[in-house]
Amino acid sequence: MDPQTNTGHPRRWAILGVLVVSLLVVVLDNTILNVAIRVLADPNEGLGATQAQLEWAVNSYTLVFAALLFSFGILGDRWGRKRFLLFGLAIFGLSSLASAYAQSPEQLIAMRALMGLGGAAIMPVTLSIISVVFDPRERAKAIGLWAGSVGLAVAIGPILGGFLLEHFWWGSVFLINVPIVVLGMVLIAVLVPESRNPHPGKIDLVGVLLSVVGLTSLVYGIIDGGENGFDQPEVWAFIVAGVAVLTGFIFWERHYEFPSLDVKLFRNGQFSASIASIGLTFFASMGTFFFMAFYLQLVRGYTPLQTGLLLLPFAVAQLAFAPRSAAMVHRFGGKAVSVTGLVLVGLSLVGFMTVGVDTPIWVVAVLFFVQGAGMANIMPPAMEAIMSTLPRERAGVGSAISNTIRQVAAALGIAVLGSVLAAVYRAQVDDALTGLPDAAREAASESIAGAYAVAAQAGPQGGALITAANSAFVNAMHTSALGAAVIVLIGALVSLTWLPGRPTRAPESTVERVREEVAEAGGDPALVDADNR
């Protein structure tokens, strides 16, 4: 064959557009939810969800997504990627429709978990399809566009969510997915060719079950402890059971021939440090986003659209610095770039500890920008280190593990920091609730959203209750931000100790082979190209 002949599919760029839309709908909906928290907590406008229920609305999606990501990539290879992509979109669309019309927080949580199942089916096969339909010479560009769509979704999600909430009811943030999914399914059916891996891996059903049960039990115990206090025996029963099941999961993965998570890789200090830097960063940052959504919409009184616009500096910093971070790694080394990024994230979290009820809002916007700039410089050096510790045939495994750890860390961050927030808030606001009826006192002590709902019906006492609730929440927010900053500091120390310095450039033939293997395994090959520039 003529080496100048392009072996890609004739409709490859149109196919890429459809795949990007499929990915956008998965990422977009998660970022939209950040600005819907206040409305969902309102008993009149929304579902009257407690803070714990709102944490589960986020985490039910994330935990299911993370637990099934490995196995669904293999199932797509086995059953047909086009077929599995259509399956994932159908599940995602139907669960979005059900979420829009949920009648209780419990229904919303269940449907969000089902959305996580659909998202786990969509994400890995989109990359695998790209590796099939594009010529190797164009594949890097295609994957770069695919990866860039994630940044686009992060940027437009909160703004779109705010616009919808200002003009329609809360269910519109989920209902918007349905027409996009339907259009995507039609275009996929017409444009995307079917493909399979002739030698797919085996499904680790026991490992998947243990990871889901263990993580759910652990997160449930942490969230329940934040809501009802950690002096309850059942709280510790769930936490201990979760740790025990996850220990069993690690034991199983060490001895099973086809593990969904190869825990033996963590024996390598450089690999473990890289994964830890990613996990600790997302633990701290996603927990921060959760409590800042309450701060902006309740303490400061901003609308969902205004909140979305205030989150924009974070996305802008990501889009501005992420493409340049790989060049910084090449020039200064992975250790220097990663530690710098972690320090920037840590500084932003320390900055959130100084934010009060009347802090100028531009200060908050600047802190979000610094946080985004820091996070943009953490992933490339970490992925560089991960790739360098693995043989070429296992490059995709490293990328997939990093994606899974990132999702799990985000869920744990929201659970742990959210529980710290709830516990400190409840202790600080308690004195202001004396004299209230039992039901009102319980609602006001659960969360700041509950305090606002009680204050609206408390007459002259309402103003004093709001003042006390705002003060208690800000103090609790400072404690959570301190905890997040300590976590990021640990990540910086880990990176400083174990991450490598300046890398050498890999031959292009090796890089191309790694790209193909990463895409085949359902990972993110764009990071391979970024790290080798």
Over pLDDT 90: what percentage of the chain? 21
pLDDT at 511 (0 to 100): 52
For 182, the enclosing helix (H) or strand (E) is helix 177-191
In this predicted model, which residue has the larger pLDDT, 404 or 514? Answer: 404
Within-domain flag for 432? yes
pLDDT in tens, 204-247: 888 888 988 888 888 888 888 877 778 888 989 999 999 999 99
What gap in Å lies between CA 388 and CA 392, rounded to an integer?
Answer: 9
- φ, ψ for residue 292 (rounded to 5)? -70, -25
**One domain, residues 299 and 413:** yes
- When pLDDT is cut at 50, 70 and 90, the band that residue 506 belongs to is very low
Q: What is the mean pLDDT of the chain?
A: 82
pLDDT for 166 beyond 70: yes
Whole-angstrom distance, CA of residue 301 vs CA of residue 291: 14
What confidence score (pLDDT) does residue 518 get?
52
Please tell me the distance from the alpha carbon of residue 260 to that of residue 225, in angstroms, as a whole number.
30
Q: Are 19 and 146 in contact (CB under 8 A)?
A: yes
- pLDDT surpasses 60 at 48: yes
Looking at the fold, whether 27 and 85 belong to one and the same domain comes out as yes
With 60 as the cut, is the pLDDT of residue 514 above it?
no
DSSP string over 453-509? HHHTTSTTHHHHHHHHHHHHHHHHHHHHHHHHHHHHHHHHHHHHHHS--SPPPPPHH
Query: Helices 461-498 and 395-429 meet at what angle, rounded to 10?
Result: 150
Shared-domain flag, residues 374 and 488 = yes
Query: Residue 371 — pLDDT band, cuts 50, 70, 90?
Result: very high
Residues 394-411 have a mean pLDDT of: 74
Checking if the pLDDT of 6 tops 90, the result is no
415 lies in the same domain as 489: yes
In the predicted structure, residue 520 carries a pLDDT above the cut 80: no
Its pTM stands at: 0.81
Final residue of a structural domain among 219, 249, 279: 249
- DSSP string of 117-152? HHHHHHHHHHHHHHHHHS-HHHHHHHHHHHHHHHHH
Residue 39 located in a structural domain: yes
* Most confidently modeled range among 176-190, 256-270, 316-330, 440-454: 176-190
| Domain contains 3 | no
Top mean-pLDDT range of 120-124, 256-260, 283-287, 483-487: 483-487
Whether 180 and 227 share a structural domain: no
Which of 188, 203, 218 delimits the end of a domain?
Answer: 203
pLDDT of amino acid 144: 65
Instruction: Extract the tokens encoding 109.
Output: 């949580």
DSSP state of 24: H
- The pLDDT tens digits of the residues spanning 422-448 come to 889 888 888 777 777 777 788 778 778
**Is pLDDT larger for residue 413 or for residue 521?**
413
Query: Are 190 and 315 in a shared domain?
Result: no
How does pLDDT run across 110-119, given as a tens digit for each residue? 999 999 899 8
Q: Which residues, in sequence order, are CB contacts of 179 under 8 Å at separation 6+?
A: none
Give the residue from 146, 170, 203 where a domain finishes.
203
Residue 145 lies in a domain: yes
Q: How much is the CA Rg of the chain, to the nearest whole Å?
A: 23
8-state DSSP, 11: T
Element (DSSP H or E) covering residue 368: helix 361-376
Task: Evaluate whether residue 2 is within a structural domain.
Answer: no
Residues 290 and 167 in one domain: no
Shared-domain flag, residues 161 and 27: yes
Which range of residues forms the domain containing residue 108? 9-203
Domain total in the chain = 3
Both tokens of 402, joined, read: 């990093």
Instruction: For residue 426, give the H/E element and its range.
Output: helix 395-429
Find tokens 């609790």 and name the residue. 476
Which string of b and e fits 377-402 if b means at least 16 CB within 10 Å? bbbbbbbbbbbbbbeeebbbbbbbbb
Asked if residue 258 is part of any domain, the answer here is no
Residue 259 domain-assigned (yes or no)? no
Per-residue pLDDT at 10: 76
What integer pLDDT is reported at residue 480 of this predicted model?
93
Q: Are residues 198 and 220 in the same domain?
A: no
Contact between 484 and 429 under an 8 Å Cβ cutoff? The reply is: no
In terms of Cα–Cα distance, which of 419, 428, 312, 431 is closest to 364? 312
- What percent of the chain lies above the pLDDT cut of 70? 87
Mean pLDDT confidence for 128-136: 78
Whether residues 162 and 185 fall in one domain: yes
Q: pLDDT digits over 13-46, tens only?
A: 888 888 888 888 887 776 777 788 878 888 778 8
- Residue 441 half-sphere exposure toward CB, CA atoms < 13 A: 10
Q: What is the mean pLDDT of residues 112-130?
A: 85
Residue type, 415: A
pLDDT at res. 398: 66
Left (φ > 0), alpha (ψ -120 to 50) or beta: where does 227 sit? alpha
* Region 251-261 average pLDDT: 85
Does residue 147 share a domain with residue 288? no
One domain for residues 421 and 358:
yes
Tell me if 307 is assigned to some domain: yes
Q: What is the CATH number of the domain that holds 163?
A: 1.20.1250.20
Residue 396 has pLDDT above 60, yes or no: no
